[in-house]
Structure 1
Amino acid sequence: MRRILVVGSTGAGKSTLAHELGERLGVPYHELDALHFTGPGWAQDPDFAARVAEIAATPAWVLDSYGTPDVRPLLWERADTVVWLDYPRHVVMPRVLRRSLRRTVLRERIFNGNRETLTEWFRGDHPARWAWSQYAPRRAALTALTTDPALAPLHTLRFTAPREARRWLRTIEAGRGERRKGPAG
């Protein structure tokens, strides 16, 4: 495990798990949204695809997304492992709602100075609305990608509950990139 994609629905906890996994493996973690949104007003980096290609060309990385259409094929070709947080909608929706509410009320800065605002809650691309509307299509796309024979060498770890992912993460030796001996528990 040296080039890892952590994928799943909005609100599944991809960034949190990817960050911890990167630390435990001693592998650089890159937050794809932070690379994509480069300034206030949700400005998008015109060099986003090139920046992601540079990261993907390195020997080791952890990224927390299945990628935008312009970088997705590259990431899936270069990854050696996919960690899929395939949690039910009733798990991810409360998470994304709590996160967005906290970010809005506390005016937390995210992704290079951007903030979630009350008016954004009424937009179709607000994280809560996006999580709801994209849940089934994202799940179908991930099912197709993780079962694609062309990507057969790609090792996929699929977790259907947060406790499964936490249990697995505990088996990764902190800072060493090795699994601990003995059963995962």
Structure 2
Amino acid sequence: MRRINVVGTSGSGKSTFSKHLAGKLSCPYYEMDSLFWKANWQESTDEEFFEALSQVTSNEHWVLDGNYNRTVPIKWHKVDTVIWIDYSLGRTLYQAVKRAVYRIISQKELWPNTGNKESLKKVLASKDSILLWTLKTYHTNKIRYQSIMTDEQYSHIQFVRITSPKEAKQFIENIIA
């Protein structure tokens, strides 16, 4: 495992898992959201986003956290392993709520130099609510990744499906770096 993309529904624990994995492998960790989001919640253009993603995936060793389906041709060009964090809907939603509450209270900047922070309004009363996004994408993500794992087009990729926090912990503990 040298070039890894960790995927899963928002709130599933991709970032936490990815950071631990990159630490265990002593390799760079990249969060796709930090490549995508600009200051004041402005989105990067596809050209900007794809260029940033191409740069980080040109390295020989990395852990990349994020979905962004339109980026599959770029991020999976060199990937050797895709790890799907596939916890239950209840667990994923619990984690998403817990993270949102922490972010609202802490007012911690989400991605460096963006000033982007969670707010109660953004989390609960917005069409862009991360909790709503988690609910809307959970089942479609499950169907998509189940299909992708058996698609011949991706036969060069080792797929790993992790279905519980205990399994995630064991996976990282069993890695020989």
- In structure 2, C-alpha distance between the alignment counterparts of 1:103 and 1:82, rounded to whole Å: 28
Where 2:159 maps in the other structure, the secondary structure is: strand
**Are 2:142 and 1:139 aligned?**
yes
Residue deviations 1:92-111 (CA, integer Å, cap 9, x gap): 00110011012112222112
Q: Which amino acid aligns with 2:41?
A: W
Contact kept in structure 1, 2:27 and 2:61, CA below 8 Å: yes
Determine the C-alpha separation between the residues in 2 that align with 1:106 and 1:54: 32
Q: Structure 2: how far apart are the matches of 1:66 and 1:114?
A: 20
Give me the CA root mean square deviation: 1.3
Query: Where does the alignment leave 5 or more consecutive residues of structure 2 unmatched?
Result: none
1:7 has 2:10 as partner = no
State how 1:111-126 maps to structure 2 within 5 Å: 111=111, 112-120=114-122, 121-126=124-129
Q: Distance in 1 between matches of 2:54 and 2:33?
A: 15
Matches within 5 A, 1:93-132: 93-111=93-111, 112-120=114-122, 121-132=124-135
Between Structure 1 and Structure 2, how many residues are aligned? 172
Is 1:165 aligned to 2:168, yes or no? yes
- Deviation at residue 81 of structure 1 after TM alignment: 0.2
Match runs of 1:58-77 below 5 Å: 58-69=59-70, 71-77=71-77
Alpha-carbon shift at residue 27 of structure 1 (Å): 1.4
Give the TM-score, by structure 2 length: 0.91
* Counterpart residue type for residue 92 of structure 1: T
- How far did 1:65 drift? 1.0
SS of the counterpart of 2:160?
A: strand
Distance 1:44 1:84 in 2: 25
State the distance in 2 between where 1:106 and 1:169 align: 28
Identity of aligned residues (%): 29
| Offset at residue 68 of structure 1 (A) | 4.2
Counterpart residue number, 1:180: none
- Structure 2 match to 1:182: none
Name the TM-score, length of structure 1 as normaliser: 0.88
Letter of the structure 2 residue corresponding to residue 114 of structure 1: N
Question: 1:45: how far off?
Answer: 2.8
Which residue identity is paired with 2:89? R
User: What is the CA–CA distance in structure 2 between the aligned matches of 1:122 and 1:73, rounded to whole Å?
Assistant: 34
1:8-27 to 2 correspondence within 5 Å? 8-27=8-27
Identify unmatched segments of 5+ residues in structure 1: 178-185
Contact 1:97 1:128 in 2 (8 A): yes
